[in-house]
Amino acid sequence: MNGAGKPSSVKRRANNHTTPANGVKVANGAMAKTASTHFSDASFMKWTVADAVHVATHHWIPCLFALGLLFFMGVEYTLFMVPPSSPPFDLGFIATRHLHAILESSPDLNTLLAALNTVFVGMQTTYILWTWLIEGRPRATISTLFMFTCRGILGYSTQLPLPQEFLGSGADFPVGNVSFFLFFSGHVAGSVIASLDMRRMQRKELAWTFDVLNVLQAVRLLGTRGHYTIDLAVGVGAGILFDSLAGKYEDSKRKGAALTTKHDFS
C-alpha cells in the first residue's frame, strides 16, 4: 500500500466515455466527430473550378437570379419608404405617363381603347367557354374559376386605393365604371390561361396573338391607371399557377377514376 502522503504510482488510463444519468455510454467527442464527417461530406466541399464554370455556362439563368437577389437586397435596404401621405410609387405609371396625358386629353380615344379592350375580354371568355362546352376540355374553365375565386379573396382582403389619376370609361369592362378589385388583374390572368390552353392544342399563332393583345392591354391599363404594375405582374403568375393547379386537379380525378375502375373489375 502507498503511504498516506505518497502519490500513487499507478496511472489511470484516461476515460474517454461518460455515463449519462440513463446509463447509456456516449463517447466523448462523438458528436463533434459526426459533425466533422458531415461537413467533409458536404456537397460544396467537393466543388471545383470546373464545376463553377459549368454552372455559369449551363445554368446562367439561376446565376442571373442570384445577382438579382444581391442587387435588390441592396435596393431594399437603402430605399426611402413612401410616406403614408403620398400616393404609391409605380414604375409602370412613370413609363406610361405620356400615354396617360394623351388619353386624359382625348376622352374619345380613351373610350375607343376601352371598348377594344372589352372586345378582347369577350374573346378570352368565348375561347375558354368554347374549350369546355364545344371541345369538352374543362381545364381552362376550371383554372378560370380557381383564379377568379382567389382574386376575389385577395382583392377583398387587401383593398388597394384607386390611383388618383384613374381614367374610367363606360365602355370598359366591367361596363359602367362599377367598382372592381385592383389586385390582381383578371384581364391579364384570363388571357394567360387562354394562351396556355392554345399552346397545349398547338394553336401557336392564336396564342401569340393573345400574348401581343395582352401586352397592349397591360400598357393600356397602366396608361389609364386602371391597375398598378404589381396587379398585372401577379396576373401573369396567377394565370400560370391556376392553369397548373387545374391540370393537377384533372390528373387526380383521372387517377381516382382509374383506381375505382380497377377495384370494380378486381
pLDDT, tens digit, for every residue of 244-257?
999 999 999 988 77
17, 28, 176 from 14: Cα distances, Å: 9, 11, 89
Cβ(92)–Cβ(229) below 8 Å? yes
With 70 as the cut, is the pLDDT of residue 149 above it? Answer: yes
Active site residue ranges? 187, 227, 231
Determine the pLDDT at residue 177: 58
pTM above 0.95, yes or no: no
Burial degree of 251 (CB within 10 A; 0-12, 13-18, 19+): exposed
Determine the pLDDT at residue 175: 63
All 3 cell numbers of residue 28? 466523448
Cβ(207)–Cβ(199) below 8 Å? yes
- Buried/exposed code over 203-242 (b: 16+ C-beta within 10 A; e: otherwise): beebbeebbebbeebbbbbbbbbbbbbbbbbbbbebbbbb
Helices (H), the chain: 30-40, 49-58, 60-77, 91-95, 97-105, 107-133, 139-157, 186-200, 204-223, 229-265
